[in-house]
């Protein structure tokens, strides 16, 4: 067992296991302050004891005796050397002397291993009760094992979250339920350009262009509890004035069971372009079939187009995507995020431009 004083210094401490209860019959009469303390702490869940100036137990409550897996009468009347391990007893004696010498309470933390083998941590005070029939030392503790573990877990989670936000390079955004940006990671500033101050506090809709129906549907599903996660693609304006096609993995963050905010992890589906490509629904189908390896004749037949109509759409696609051949059209469609690089057979990543 180890003991930690109020200054945070740790040293070998007293501990072991015992089980508490009321003072045994025939124990020495307790002075008034000690009797008052006994009445207060007898049924408290916090372990408590009274010892004389010679280290002999005059009274322990049930919670204290339980630390040693003993009955109270098996502790009362014995000295700390008879109950605790030698190193632990020496520390207990030193703490008692410190209290009796100074006359002031001493706050300390005990680190020990419970008889069942689990590590435990308690914090408490020792204090002088009165000197009516010689010096009496009282003590009461609170088990802080779970609290200490919770604080350690919280610190570890905070460190993991900080590493995710600031060191991973991921583009992460949190938004309130009205769509206002609350916080962005450094990866978002790198992806979209500009700085965090420009992005945080702004409305997300102000950074989007094109058809946002898929985003609105995903947002409604999350807020209304129909889903915990949704994925959609969006066109986002960059600080330089260009457009970037992004995949947004949206998740709902709850507080006390109710949706509180939305998190989004953003991935670029293509490089920044001067403007979003204007591709009609028919042209999207042409690109999808072309990426799947269909010939011009098969594409025209599948879409019910004449060869002249198909040629018209191919010409418009070459102009919109700045690509001179079928392979170049397919490559540009994937590069710009028009086609979904994660899907087969090929399919559109974004809704068609509404022109």
Render pLDDT for 142-189 as a digit per residue (tens, 0 to 9).
888 889 889 999 999 989 888 888 888 899 999 999 999 999 998 888
Give the alpha-carbon dihedral of 288, 291, 295, 297, to 10 degrees: 10
- What is the C-alpha separation between 71 and 63, in angstroms, rounded? 10
- The pLDDT value recorded for residue 29 is 52
Indicate the length of the chain as a whole number. Answer: 355
**CB within 8 A of 299, min separation 6: which ones?**
286, 289, 290, 305, 310
Q: Is the dihedral of CA 192, 197, 198, 204 positive or negative?
A: positive
Q: What is the pTM of this model?
A: 0.54
Tell whether the model's pLDDT for residue 70 goes beyond 80: yes
Can you give the C-alpha Rg of the chain in angstroms?
A: 36
| 25-34 pLDDT tens trace | 334 455 676 7
Question: For residues 245 and 259, is the Cβ–Cβ distance under 8 A?
Answer: no
CA distance 105 to 164: 45
* pLDDT, mean of residues 4-20: 40
For residues 265 and 171, what is the distance between their CA atoms, to the nearest angstrom?
A: 6
For 225, the token pair is 């509890």
Mean pLDDT (whole number) for 38-56: 88
Report the pLDDT averaged over residues 245-258: 90
Of 184 and 13, which is predicted with more confidence? 184
User: Do 67 and 48 meet the contact criterion of CB atoms below 8 Å apart?
Assistant: no
Residue percentage of the chain with pLDDT more than 70: 85
Q: Are 110 and 35 in contact (CB under 8 A)?
A: no
Nearest Cα residue to 11 out of 103, 80, 94, 67: 94
**Over the stretch 265-319, which tens digit does the pLDDT of each residue have?**
998 877 776 555 677 888 888 888 888 888 888 888 888 888 888 888 888 888 8
DSSP one-letter string for 157-193: HHHHHHHHHHTS--EEEEEETTSBEEEE-HHHHHHH-
Q: What is the pLDDT of residue 351?
A: 56
pLDDT higher than threshold 90 for residue 244: no
pLDDT score of 219: 92
Compute the average pLDDT of residues 219-241: 87
- pLDDT value at 349 more than 80: no
Give all strands (DSSP E) within 68-178, no chain letters: 106-113, 119-128, 136-143, 171-176
In whole angstroms, what separates CA 248 from the centre of its chain? Answer: 21
Who wins on pLDDT, 79 or 278?
Answer: 79
Residue 22 has pLDDT above 50, yes or no: no
* pLDDT value, residue 30: 57
**Tell me, what's the pLDDT at 24?**
39
Domains and CATH numbers, the chain: 2-148 (3.30.450.20), 170-268 (3.30.450.20), 277-355 (1.10.10.10)
Q: What is the pLDDT of residues 93-131, one digit of tens each?
A: 999 999 999 989 989 887 776 667 778 888 999 999 875
């Amino acid at each position: 067992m180890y003991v930690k004083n109020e200054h945070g210094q740790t040293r070998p401490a007293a501990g072991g296991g015992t089980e508490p209860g009321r003072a045994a019959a025939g124990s020495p009469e307790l002075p008034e302050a000690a009797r008052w303390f006994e009445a207060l702490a007898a049924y408290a869940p916090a372990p408590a004891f009274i010892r004389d100036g010679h280290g002999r137990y005059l009274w322990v409550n049930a919670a204290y005796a339980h630390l040693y897996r003993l009955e109270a009468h098996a502790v009362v009347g014995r000295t700390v050397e008879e109950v605790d391990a030698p190193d632990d007893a020496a520390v207990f004696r030193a703490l008692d002397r410190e209290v009796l010498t100074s006359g002031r309470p001493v706050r300390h933390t005990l680190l020990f291993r419970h008889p069942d083998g689990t590590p435990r941590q308690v914090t408490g005070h020792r204090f002088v009760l009165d000197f009516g029939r010689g010096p009496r030392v009282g003590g009461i503790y609170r088990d802080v094992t779970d609290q200490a573990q919770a604080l350690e877990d919280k610190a570890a989670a905070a460190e993991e979250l900080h590493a995710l936000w600031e060191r991973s390079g991921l583009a992460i955004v949190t938004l309130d339920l009205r769509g206002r940006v609350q916080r962005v990671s450094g990866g978002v500033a790198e992806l979209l350009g500009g700085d965090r101050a420009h992005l945080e506090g702004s409305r997300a809709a102000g950074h989007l262009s094109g058809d946002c129906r898929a985003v609105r549907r995903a947002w409604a599903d999350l807020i209304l509890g129909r889903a915990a996660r949704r994925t959609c693609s969006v066109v986002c304006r960059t600080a330089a004035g260009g457009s970037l096609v992004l995949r947004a993995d949206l998740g709902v963050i709850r507080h006390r069971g109710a949706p509180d905010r939305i998190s989004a992890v953003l991935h670029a589906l293509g490089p920044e372009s001067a403007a979003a490509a204007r591709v009609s629904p028919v042209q999207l189908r042409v690109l999808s079939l072309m990426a799947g390896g269909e010939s011009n004749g098969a594409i025209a037949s599948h879409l019910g187009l004449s060869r002249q109509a198909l040629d018209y759409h191919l010409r418009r696609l070459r102009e919109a995507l700045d690509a001179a051949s079928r392979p170049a059209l397919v490559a540009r469609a994937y590069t710009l995020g028009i086609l979904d690089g994660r899907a087969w057979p090929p399919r559109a990543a974004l809704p068609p431009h509404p022109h």
